[in-house]
Amino acid sequence: MLVDLLHNFKKELESPNLRAIKLLSRPIISLRDLGSSLIPSEQAASARDRILFYLRKYPRFVVDGDELMVVSGIGEWARRVRELRVEFGWWIYSGVTVADMVEDARTTENDAELASLKNALGIDPSKIKPDQYVLMRVEQDREAAHRWNVLNEIRKKKGSVSDRIIEYFRRNVGQEITGEELKYLAKDKKEWARRVRELRTEQGWPIVTKNSGRTDLAVGVYVLEEDRQAYEHDRFIPDPIRVAVLQRDGFKCIECDWHRGMLSPTDPRKMLELHHKKHHKDRGGNTVDNLITLCNVHHDEQHRKTPRLK
Ligand SMILES: [Zn+2]
Ligand SMILES: [Zn+2]
């Protein structure tokens, strides 16, 4: 349709009449017509469907907000993107959320995180603009669509960003949660990334990511493995040290060789934890040499043997 119009327009210009001038004096084509002309209505009837159609055509590819405006054909396209993300469970990350992740990774000098982001996006993550978007996962996350009600319920609660985030995790133990959901919970405050990191390292919640020991996860995804906090003496372990210890021990409990691949509902072993071999004061001793990997069962046993450890 657009092509036809432009073609005719050119012809009009070549013809000796003045219709072309008339055409110029009013909007040549409406945004809505443009949107539906680009993507056939059999494939995507609504503005929201057209946005999804376009993003799914270019997964893990950074697209501009302007492109989504044009394919959607509506001025309110950003709202449709939000709906696709939160209500329908499509992992559409905005440049704003990626920028929050980049900032936190930089603050903590987490080069592994920056490298994964670069790998996932195909561009330098610090170059992403706020009005750019990327579909991080090709398939719809139907569980995310189910989480929507819980997300909104907790978002309305008073309390700190950390309180809301940990409550949401505890209601979704074992589920893959996206940075976009956490940012939404934080009412778009950029502190969400730092709060998640603090919940993990300082408060000892086993919130794992690709670069804190769960290499199988996609970048920008967070999982609370179990609803229990690490022993106080085992907190404050920096992510790079954590990963180095897990790698050295082959991602297995050094007592029983348990690993995540053996997860089973009837087995009390649910997760791997790090334990300090030597009791230490003042939260020191977070070195690879002083840490070992244990399953939760053997970790508890270790602490029963030495009850002075909290
Ligand atoms: Zn321990
Ligand atoms: Zn074990």
Q: What is the pLDDT of residues 36-95, one digit of tens each?
A: 677 777 777 899 999 999 999 999 899 999 999 989 989 999 999 999 998 899 999 999
pLDDT at 24: 46
Q: How does pLDDT run across 201-219, given as a tens digit for each residue?
A: 899 999 999 988 898 999 9
- Which whole number is the average pLDDT over 219-241? 90
Ligand nearest to the CA of 292: 1
For the beta carbon of residue 278, count every other beta carbon within 10 angstroms: 9
DSSP conformational letter for 107: H
If you measure from the C-alpha of residue 283 to the centroid of ligand 1, how many angstroms do you get, rounded to a whole number?
A: 12
Q: Using a pLDDT cut of 90, give the percent of the chain over it.
A: 64
The pLDDT, as a whole number, for residue 39 is: 76
Name the residue with higher pLDDT: 17 or 217: 217
Over residues 259-280, mean pLDDT: 90
Give the β-pairing of 207-208 and 221-224: antiparallel
Q: Using an 8 Å Cβ cutoff, are 160 and 181 in contact? A: no
Tokens at 194, concatenated: 């730092």
Q: What is the band of 281 on the pLDDT scale with cuts at 50, 70, 90? A: low
The ligand with the least distance to the CA atom of 232 is 1
* pLDDT tens profile 148-202: 899 999 999 999 999 999 999 999 999 999 999 999 999 989 999 999 999 998 9
Dist. CA 146–CA 153, nearest whole Å: 13
Give the C-alpha separation, 147 to 177, whole Å.
9
Read off φ and ψ for residue 94, nearest 5 degrees: -95, 160
Q: 299 C-alpha to center of ligand 2: Å?
A: 7
> 174 CA distance to ligand 2 centroid (A)?
20
Spell 248-259 as b/e; 16+ CB within 10 A means b.
ebebbbbeeebb
- Asked whether the CA dihedral 157, 81, 55, 96 is positive or negative, the reply is negative
26 pLDDT higher than 80: no
Nearest ligand by distance to the CA of 272: 2
Distance 173 CA to ligand 2 centre (A): 21
Ligand 1 centroid to 43 CA: how many Å? 55
**pLDDT band per the 50, 70, 90 thresholds, residue 284:** low
Give the highest mean pLDDT range of 38-42, 88-92, 139-143, 250-254. 250-254
- In angstroms, how far is CA 289 from the centroid of its own chain? 32
Centre of ligand 1 from the C-alpha of residue 291, in Å: 9
In terms of average pLDDT, the best of 8-12, 166-170, 274-278 is 166-170
Comparing 1 with 127, the larger pLDDT belongs to 127
Rounded Cα distance between 251 and 268, Å, is 17
Distance (angstroms) between ligand 2 centre and the Cα of 231 equals: 16
- Taking the CA of residue 221 as centre, how many other CA atoms within 13 Å lie in the half-sphere pointing to its CB? 20
Going from the Cα of 231 to the center of ligand 1, the distance in angstroms, rounded, reads 6
Ramachandran class of 60: left when φ > 0, alpha when ψ lies in -120 to 50, beta otherwise: left
Mean pLDDT value across residues 23-41:
62
132 and 122 in contact (C-beta within 8 Å)?
no
Whole-angstrom distance, CA of residue 200 vs CA of residue 113: 15
- Model pLDDT, residue 18: 43
User: pLDDT at position 6, please?
Assistant: 47
CA–centroid distance, residue 249 to ligand 1 (Å):
16
Q: Are 60 and 66 in contact (CB under 8 A)?
A: no
Residue 19 pLDDT level (bands cut at 50, 70, 90): very low
Q: Which ligand is the nearest neighbour of the Cα of 235?
A: 1
Sorted by sequence, the CB contacts under 8 Å of residue 214 that are 6+ apart come out as 208, 223
